[in-house]
Amino acid sequence: MANLPRASRAVELDLAAYAQGVRVELIGGTAFPPIGQLPYLLTLPPYAFYWLELRENEPGPSWAQPAAEQLPEFTTLVLRAGLDALADTRQREAHRQLVEREILPTYLPKRRWFAAKDSVLRGAHFAWGTELPVDAASTNRPLAGATRPEVFINEIAVTLGDADGTERTERYLLPLSIAWESATLPALPIQLALARVRRGRHVGYLTDAFTTETFARVLLANLVRGVTLEASDGRVHFEPEPHLAELAEPPVAAETAAVRPAPLPLAPDAPVQWLAAEQSNSSLVIGESVIVKLIRRVAAGVHPEVEMTRHLTRIGYANTAALIGEIAHEGADGERSTLAVLQSFVPNQGDAWTWALDYLRRTIDELAVLTEAVSAGDGDAAPTAVSEARTDTDEALAGYLAFIGAIGTRLGELHVALAGPSDDPAFGTRAADADDAAFWTARVDEELARALDHLAAWQAANGPRAEVGWLLSQRDALLEAARERAQGGLGAMLARVHGDFHLGQVLVAQGDAYLIDFEGEPSRPVDERRRKTSPLRDVAGLVRSLDYVVGAMRQGPEHVAGPAQERRDQLLERFRNASTERFLEAYAAAILAPGSDDGACMLDLDLLDLFLLEKAAYEVNYEAANRPTWLPIPLAGLARVARRLLPADVAPPVARDPLGGPP
């Protein structure tokens, strides 16, 4: 498609016959938005052209994510009083029964934070609720009248049926509010609405209160006051950290303002930015200084995120967000559960996963074009061109490795801090015993057995693949090697760790790395996430993430077979090996630094391979269930660690491995 005139031109194309297809620009590999039923609009600059290929089953561009699915038809609730009748489970209220029986069973499975999508939802009801007091400092709306702001925090109990016929109950946090219709009503409260609401002549939406600015400000205002609210079952505690009062006070003098932390955004017009409304948890930022994280799936006990960030804040670990406070529910039976975590916001340029992908997309394409030009260039100029190409590659690699090294340093410093002495028995260190070895063995056995079964099914459906066949033939040997590595870990130093460490848990901030999200793997029980384990579990997570970001590059629309792709693959492999080595070097330097007495106890490559095996097997299971086309990424990682675990005479040849093993 070409535009020959010297003026820009727009064109509308009738491509409805190719709906859901994705057009990929072949020079840069850029994916265009998916084709729909409406005319497809393109604008071409002067003297320009597009060289496009139409592909099926291709993901669109990352920025073109569809909005959250809206319910096809809303039930209308006619309210004469407030929302308290919904929240007060001690009353028999017709509107609440309608929500519980007809709306929640449809609404909950559509939410990404609802973890039980594979189970049958047999019922849902309000377990407890309470109204949050709203004052003039939290809203610009009148505090009285038909459209007064109402904010309720509620816990929903969901009854689930599993495939084996058993029933279980899970609990989810679903705060509620009414978003009244107006010319300025944003889309998010409508997209996440449960029902329409009418009160007199006013019409609005019963929606997830997280989508409203008032909710965010009310949480912060009540935390500053440290209130305790009565609920229909128990109490809700707003528990500020000791230093919160300092942040809430204005600077006492202009000359001290520059050295004080940013004041809390308590004004009713403080801006609110939603980071993740539809993830496993929901996060927002108030005034670019406070981040609020709702814990959607509620579990009894000490929440790892609160416990870890409180400890790190108190011991002065600098490269994470400081804890500001916790909101928790205490039932009438004394059972306690965390509802929300508030932390200081770290201004950042995004997470390390996005940074790494963007860096590789930009750099690898440029280097591939450069090396292609060198290979096709004039013979007399070839030595100079080759030298320049190598210099450019080395400089690009150095920029990537600098930040990966920063991650290794900050993770090492985190582990040293967590291994320090503590009066709190939840922290400090201990030596691994037989129970720990048995626990590691059981986890690897479970993940690896499922992974090999998935790979066998995948191979049966897609044809034989050498790596899969070899792994299946070594099933018993791999399980035995894993048990030996677990037993070899007896006596290893154990401490609290991040628990779910990967590039997505690192923020890029002014060239430094900040570590976030210390709740561990959300799918694991709370007690397991709080268990002391080897710090190498975090190391394995980041090593696998470095491999995954390279694999994601190969899965993207830029991947086109041919000589150019071979050059891209060679460059990607170099970046993967070099980044893994740099991360491990920086990590080792941090834990072995003067004053880090426990550093040598944290380095055990045999134990690292055990956790890499478990992590790669877990990834195989995840991709088999969610993204089968991505299975080659964890498959390659699983085969790589298997070659190191097994004797050299049974391992097939492989390219150089930055962690050692057969050549």
pLDDT in tens, 222-240: 998 899 999 999 999 999 9
Whether the pLDDT of residue 441 is over 60: the answer is yes
Domains parsed from the chain with CATH numbers? 2-55 (2.60.40.1180), 76-344 (no CATH)
Whether the pLDDT of residue 73 is over 60: the answer is yes
Residue 650, helix vs strand vs coil: helix
What pLDDT sits at residue 37?
Answer: 64
CA-closest candidate to residue 248, choices 228, 216, 270, 220: 220
| pLDDT tens, position by position, 208-219 | 999 999 999 899
CB neighbourhood size of 37 (10 A): 10
Q: What value does the mean pLDDT of the chain take? A: 84
Say which range, 40-49, 54-63, 473-482, 520-529, has the weakest mean pLDDT: 54-63
What value does the mean pLDDT take over residues 484-494?
94
What value does the mean pLDDT take over residues 197-206?
90
What pLDDT sits at residue 49?
Answer: 83
What value does the mean pLDDT take over residues 2-21?
78
What value does the mean pLDDT take over residues 499-524?
93
Which of 13-22, 29-38, 566-575, 610-619 tops mean pLDDT?
610-619
pLDDT tier at 383 (50, 70, 90 boundaries)? low
What percent of the chain clears pLDDT 90, i.e. is strictly above it? 54
Helix (H) or strand (E) holding 406: helix 382-418
Question: 58 and 177 in contact (C-beta within 8 Å)?
Answer: no
What pLDDT sits at residue 562?
Answer: 56
What pLDDT sits at residue 261?
Answer: 46
Angstrom distance (rounded) from CA 462 to CA 449: 20
pLDDT tier at 476 (50, 70, 90 boundaries)? very high
* Token code pair at residue 272: 């609110």
Question: 96 and 126 in contact (C-beta within 8 Å)?
Answer: yes
What value does the mean pLDDT take over residues 560-586?
84
What pLDDT sits at residue 259?
Answer: 35
pLDDT tier at 458 (50, 70, 90 boundaries)? very high
Angstrom distance (rounded) from CA 18 to CA 33: 13
Question: 514 and 506 in contact (C-beta within 8 Å)?
Answer: yes
What pLDDT sits at residue 386?
Answer: 52
Identify the residue whose tokens are 């460490």. Answer: 501
* Token code pair at residue 14: 């009738």
Phi then psi dihedrals of residue 180, to 5 deg: -80, 140
What pLDDT sits at residue 242?
Answer: 83
Say which range, 105-119, 267-281, 326-340, 383-397, has the weakest mean pLDDT: 383-397
DSSP state of 108: G
* Token code pair at residue 373: 């030009």
What pLDDT sits at residue 662?
Answer: 42
Question: 531 and 306 in contact (C-beta within 8 Å)?
Answer: no
What pLDDT sits at residue 260?
Answer: 39
What value does the mean pLDDT take over residues 356-365?
86
What pLDDT sits at residue 255?
Answer: 41
For residues 372 and 23, the model is more confident at 23
What percent of the chain clears pLDDT 70, i.e. is strictly above it? 81
pLDDT tier at 252 (50, 70, 90 boundaries)? very low
pLDDT tier at 3 (50, 70, 90 boundaries)? confident
What pLDDT sits at residue 374?
Answer: 52
For residues 208 and 563, the model is more confident at 208
What value does the mean pLDDT take over residues 71-78?
76
What value does the mean pLDDT take over residues 276-283?
76
Say which range, 268-282, 517-531, 568-582, 633-647, has the weakest mean pLDDT: 268-282
What pLDDT sits at residue 357?
Answer: 92
What value does the mean pLDDT take over residues 512-540?
93
Is the four-CA dihedral 366, 368, 371, 377 of positive or negative sign? Answer: negative
Helix (H) or strand (E) holding 415: helix 382-418
What value does the mean pLDDT take over residues 599-608?
74
Q: How far is CA 617 from CA 231, 445, 633, 641, 655, in A?
A: 44, 10, 11, 10, 21
What pLDDT sits at residue 651?
Answer: 59
Phi then psi dihedrals of residue 111, to 5 deg: -85, 135
| pLDDT tens, position by position, 115-163 | 888 789 999 999 999 999 887 556 656 565 667 788 999 999 999 998 7
pLDDT tier at 288 (50, 70, 90 boundaries)? confident
Question: 638 and 471 in contact (C-beta within 8 Å)?
Answer: yes
Helix (H) or strand (E) holding 191: helix 187-191
Per-residue DSSP letters for 597-633? TTHHHH--HHHHHHHHHHHHHHHHHHHHHH-GGGTHH
